[in-house]
Amino acid sequence: MNTEIDGIKINYRDEGIGPLLILLHGWGSNVDLFDGIFRFASKKYHVVGMDMPGFGKSAEPDKPWEVSDFVDFVIHFIKKLFPEEKEIMFLGHSMGGRVIIKMIGTKTEEELGFKIPRVILTDSAGIKPVPSGKQSGKTKRYKFYKGVLVNTGIAKAFPQTLENLKKKFGSADYAAASPIMRDSLVKVVNEDLAPFMPSVKMPALLIWGDQDTATPLSDGQQMEKLMPEAGLAVIPGAGHYSFLDNQYMYNKILGSFLNIEM
């Protein structure tokens, strides 16, 4: 299905009948990766998920976004398509979790226009990582080479050399993104959302793969401590996409939280 939010063409899925559950995917992902969750949760819930701006089949924003911009987008999406809903649950994977945490931490129920009775955060981002020695060295080398290109005038004469340097030293997500989304990624990953986590006072289910290297299990453990009503469920052997790596176990945990029979 398609709609337009704030001038941006958006692709989304809308399945099932019941209380509204909105799914927010991670960086570099798209709504179709939630297919298993759609099939399972739509047995009892009205499940909606969108390709966030700049991902999947949705158009890019016209400028780099930070987490707050994605929050505003989700709110505008809801107000346009589901203005009568008074209670909405959210499930977020990776960056989608960031959006949920920032939304709860910065928006009142009156500003949202609805209540959030419970949330599910899956391998969620939000804890700012401490750079390892290897990462710090990589950053130093990037800054050194960038300085050479800028100070010698090479970057001005040949702009693509600076772009190639960014791709070489950036992450896989950074290298795969467009210029606008690269700048968005930098804004998103550099924001520490830990100060907002105590505001997540509703029941929060944290589902984590113990082999997650993108948002390690220690992040989930820290979130559990910071969120008053959070509980952490760990899936052995699963990585950053725990809902794909062990779909049966993931749905079993999710079903116990949302009262959905397997």
Concatenated DSSP letters for the chain?
A: -EEEETTEEEEEEEE-SSSEEEEE--TT--GGGGHHHHHHHTTTSEEEEEPPTTSTTSPPPSS---HHHHHHHHHHHHHHH-TT-SBEEEEEETHHHHHHHHHHHH--HHHHTSB---EEEES---SPPPPPHHHHHHHHHHHHHHHHHHHTTHHHH-HHHHHHHHHHHS-HHHHHS-HHHHHHHHHHHT---GGGGGG--S-EEEEEETT-SSS-HHHHHHHHHHSTTEEEEEETT--S-HHHHTHHHHHHHHHHHHT---
* pLDDT above 60: residue 133: no
Task: For domain 2-128+191-258, give the CATH superfamily.
Answer: Alpha/Beta hydrolase fold, catalytic domain (3.40.50.1820)
- The candidate with the shortest Cα–Cα distance to 192, out of 22, 29, 67, is 67
Which of 82-91, 149-158, 205-214, 244-253 comes out lowest in average pLDDT? 149-158
pLDDT of residue 151: 73
pLDDT of residue 132: 46
Within the chain, all domains assigned CATH 3.40.50.1820 are found at 2-128+191-258
* pLDDT above 70: residue 143: no
- Residues 4, 15: Cα–Cα separation, whole Å: 19
200 CB-side CA count, 13 A: 31
- Residues 61, 65: Cα–Cα separation, whole Å: 8
pLDDT per residue as tens digits for the range 233-261: 999 999 999 999 999 999 999 999 999 99
* pLDDT above 80: residue 128: yes
Q: What b/e sequence results for 237-248 when a residue is b if at least 16 CB atoms lie within 10 Å of its CB, and e otherwise? A: ebbbbbbbbbbe
Read off the pLDDT band of 139 (50, 70, 90): very low
* Token duo for residue 251: 């749905």
